[in-house]
Amino acid sequence: MIYMRRTATRDTSIGGTRIAEGDKVVMYFGAANRDPDKFDDPDTLDLAREPNEHVAFGGGPHVCLGQHLARLEIDAILTEVLTRMEDLEIVAPPEWLASTFISGPKRMDVKFRPGARL
């Protein structure tokens, strides 16, 4: 998910931009995760980034209710990919999903040597 929208319940400002009550405000989570005011070297993919107060799962009252399940799922799939898909290789340019809301590959053909379950 690329963004979510809120409706301002009162006049306020964010980063010097005035927002009036009733205005629609869009939050781009991916952009926030590369905020140069928050992170050193924000555009480098550093899986060990520390501290890493990212907002991939949102925050506040609407923080992702599924984040613990999502983390388990990601952990499980990466474990399988890294231990059972030897010589994993992308064999054709991935097709990206045509969406302004969800970002991700629609199709990505790969080849690999299947390994045994550990």
Q: Note the residues at the interface with ligand HEM (CB under 6 A).
A: 1, 4, 29, 56-58, 62, 64-66, 69-70
Give the nearest distance from C-beta 75 to ligand HEM in angstroms. 11
CB of 35 to ligand HEM, least distance (A): 15
Q: Is 98 left (phi over 0), alpha (psi -120 to 50) or beta?
A: beta
Give the nearer residue to ligand HEM in terms of CB position, either 69 or 110: 69
Cα–Cα distance, 45 to 49 (Å, whole number): 8
Task: Give the residue with the Cβ less far from ligand HEM, 78 or 88.
Answer: 78
Shortest separation between residue 61's beta carbon and ligand HEM, angstroms: 6
Q: Which is nearer to ligand HEM, 72 or 82 (CB)?
A: 72
- Amino acid residing at 90: I
Q: What's the burial of 79, exposed, middle or buried (CB within 10 Å: 0-12/13-18/19+)?
A: exposed
Contact call for residues 42 and 34 (beta carbons, < 8 A): yes
Q: Residue 86 or residue 96: which is nearer to ligand HEM going by CB?
A: 96
